[in-house]
Structure 1
């Protein structure tokens, strides 16, 4: 007789007693991993949200709130200009957040003042705009109709006074920047001995520069080219008995 079919099936099955421990461990590990992943995602999302809030708060604080707004303007480096004049030209937007102040625009406006050679604008946190100015340095004084116009080494006229300023060489010439720049070059090249005797420098054009000295003597300078050499030659000729010295060609000076 054959054995019952049900007994054969039972004998071929895998014993179930050996499975529960490994399956339980795997299930627990999987649940723990999923839990760790969820916590990690939540932490990451929380950090991102916190950073976003901080950034938004900082943007508002710096760019839109009145906490870091302009409350004061400081101006330094002034000799001729008045601080009120500079501030008026600068048009600093008081009350505007510092970060939103366009310092380049302030520089451009202040630079239009004739006496300004260069200007720098910076933010001094939390609430001050600082305007630092370098004024032009006068070299010559253009004498016109009883007053004196100051000009720097580039020939820019930037100030005017009724009295002759100390230390400047008086010039009489057209108010032309190129001519004035050439006269400033000549004035800057004079030796101490020659400068002490110069009463004024005249010119009608860039090639007709003449030094008028005390004692009714003159020095025909010509152009501003080779001014340093011309100054040395003219100084050496001062003891010559003459009223006119011509150093326009410094290699071949003449006197009469």
Structure 2
């Protein structure tokens, strides 16, 4: 019969328990120490990255939009930021400068894209009016920003015509203010608009089922005037005067 192992003494049990506690403490502290080491390494490397020429901006890619020349945006940003370590390039500052230099852009979202590259996503301003002129159709957005000239007016965009050539700035501002205040679904119903001066706006209304010639007068209360005219057109009226929308006149 094999001899029995010696019985554990109180000192042996205490020693084993102490060892287990120490092992558990090491298991708990090991990941914490590793994490602290990583943080310390990053803190040490941060100043190097902040000033390092290895992270100097060398490329700007531009996407989105059609009214702004992508190459010009890229060159503009590189002219001011080329060679700057990427951590020192502030996207918000770049965005502000791009929007100031290229007013046809409504937004310019700037992102880091690699160790030496910025990516800029352009969103165009939305035209609300096209003015028929000798060189083509000049587009304006709701803030009267000139978006340039195109050969053909965009589909579903209201065209200003019948003003005897290029209208004066006050007339353009009045028409843009009128169009810019309309919701898109109302704006699309106006196929053309005319204005000899800021007080004599009139246009052609097309609801899809009904059409009417409408006198709007000045640029006040645009939504109310167009809604009133659309209701009257739906009732079969083809000539409508809503210059005083509370008292419309029809034929």
Asked whether the two chains share a fold, i.e. TM above 0.5, the reply is: yes
Whose Rg is larger? 1
In 2, the alpha carbon distance for the partners of 1:248 and 1:114 equals 34
* Match among 218, 224, 227 for residue 213 of structure 2: 218
- 1:66 paired with 2:59, answer no
2:177 matched residue in structure 1: 181
- 1:113 paired with 2:109, answer no
- The TM-score normalised by the length of structure 2 is 0.65
* Match among 42, 47, 65 for residue 78 of structure 1: 65
- CA displacement, residues 70-117 of structure 1 (integer Å, 9 cap, x when unaligned): 232122222333321211232353332112224444223311213111
- The TM-score normalised by the length of structure 1 is 0.64
Maintained 8 Å contact 2:205/2:230: no
* Pairing of 1:77-226 with structure 2 (within 5 A): 77-91=64-78, 93-111=81-99, 112-172=101-161, 173-176=167-170, 178-179=173-174, 180-185=176-181, 188=184, 190=186, 194-195=189-190, 198=191, 200-212=192-204, 218-226=213-221
Q: Which runs of 5+ in 1 are unaligned?
A: 1-50
SS in 1 for 2:245: coil
In 2, the alpha carbon distance for the partners of 1:254 and 1:120 equals 49
In 2, the alpha carbon distance for the partners of 1:249 and 1:64 equals 66
SS in 2 for 1:190: helix
1:36 matched residue in structure 2: none
Maintained 8 Å contact 2:59/2:118: yes
Shift of 1:210: 1.0
- CA displacement, residues 126-184 of structure 1 (integer Å, 9 cap, x when unaligned): 22212122210112111222411111122222121122222211014434563222233
Shift of 1:125: 4.3
SS in 2 for 1:67: helix
2:245 matched residue in structure 1: 250
Give the superposed CA RMSD.
Answer: 3.2
SS in 1 for 2:216: strand
- Structure 1 252/74 Cα, relative in aligned 2: closer, same or farther at 3 Å? same
In 2, the alpha carbon distance for the partners of 1:234 and 1:119 equals 38
In 1, the alpha carbon distance for the partners of 2:182 and 2:196 equals 15
Q: Which runs of 5+ in 2 are unaligned?
A: 1-39, 162-166
